[in-house]
Amino acid sequence: MTQPAPASDTTPPAPSALQAALPVLAVVAGIGTFSAMDAAMKGASIALGVYTALLLRNALGTLFALPIWLATLRGPRPESTAFSRRPTLARLRLHAFRAGVTTCMAALFFYGLVRIPMAEAIAISFISPIIALFLAALLLGEVIRPQAILASLLGIAGVIVIGGGRLGALDTSPETLKGIAAVLCSAVFYAFNLVLQRKQALLAGPGEITLFQNLFSTLLVALPAPWLFLLPTGPVWGLIAAGAMLATLAHLLLSWGYARAETQVLVPVEYTGFAWAALLGWLFFGENVALATVAGTFLILVGCWVGTRNKVSQPTP
């Protein structure tokens, strides 16, 4: 008598250690690239003003991203890709909405960045990953795991240690206070951006996200151009071009990573941005790195390790 064939196991295999680490490494690299972009944009904003620097960065970013997106249209379509190559109307609306959020976020952040050191600005902005952790539960239906809460608490502790050592040295001039307020407001927009980034990455490819993110941001920022635009000089063009290239690369890395891991997995990794900012601020602007920065960064890295162990989900259509 013929035995019935055993039922096939449809449970997807668990990701290997390397597969689990790749999205995290991509996001770490993306955050580091964004921090380098912040350094370039800080220099451009000091020389030219926040508005013109932001407008030209977005416009150049659109030009850099266009051939990348066109290449994805012509190339072979991977079998694992669950979305169409050409953007649907729903995807375009999502791109436009996130572009509005990131435009407000970037304008406020760069306004604050020219008034306070990079490390302090990043430390203040770290309230946003905590907001994003719970927004992901509210908007994306993610279940917050104890590891994610512990990782966030360790990240907050690290920021408190760093902030206590760094912010105490700041003056309380009106410009400094305006810079701190601007970064705090930017952090709220950044929290929404983190959640939208995950949702966007599940619906579109990195090339499409990068192109339309820059395009819609350019269109929004360009509205008051007749009154606010200033023509930059040669050296400032180099800073803006570098900022645009770095932002394009960062968008690609982050889109790839957020398509392969939950928001709560990657939120603790956002805290590595402080280490990048402290290093770049010291290299390019002479901003000293205190012992508290080293201690706080250690706590942040421990939080990242706790929050990302074996917690990478498979891409979801």
**Alpha helices of 114-224 — where are they, by DSSP H?**
118-125, 127-139, 146-166, 174-201, 206-221
Residue whose C-alpha is closest to residue 116's, from 281, 235, 2: 281
* 111: its two tokens: 């306004």
pLDDT per residue rounded down to tens, the chain (317 residues):
445 555 444 555 556 667 777 888 888 899 999 889 988 998 898 888 889 999 999 999 999 999 988 888 775 554 444 556 778 888 999 999 999 999 999 899 999 988 888 877 877 777 776 777 777 777 767 777 777 778 778 877 877 776 666 566 655 678 888 888 898 899 889 888 877 877 787 888 888 888 998 999 999 999 999 888 888 877 889 999 999 999 889 888 988 888 787 766 777 777 778 778 888 888 888 777 667 767 776 777 677 667 655 444 444 43
49 — alpha (psi -120 to 50), left (phi > 0) or beta?
A: left
d(CA 10, CA 7): 9
Half-sphere exposure of 131 (CA within 13 A, CB side): 16
C-alpha–C-alpha distance, residues 206 and 208, integer Å: 6
Rounded CA separation 227/219 (Å): 15
Rounded to whole angstroms, how far apart are CA atoms 294 and 254?
A: 25
Q: pTM value? A: 0.71
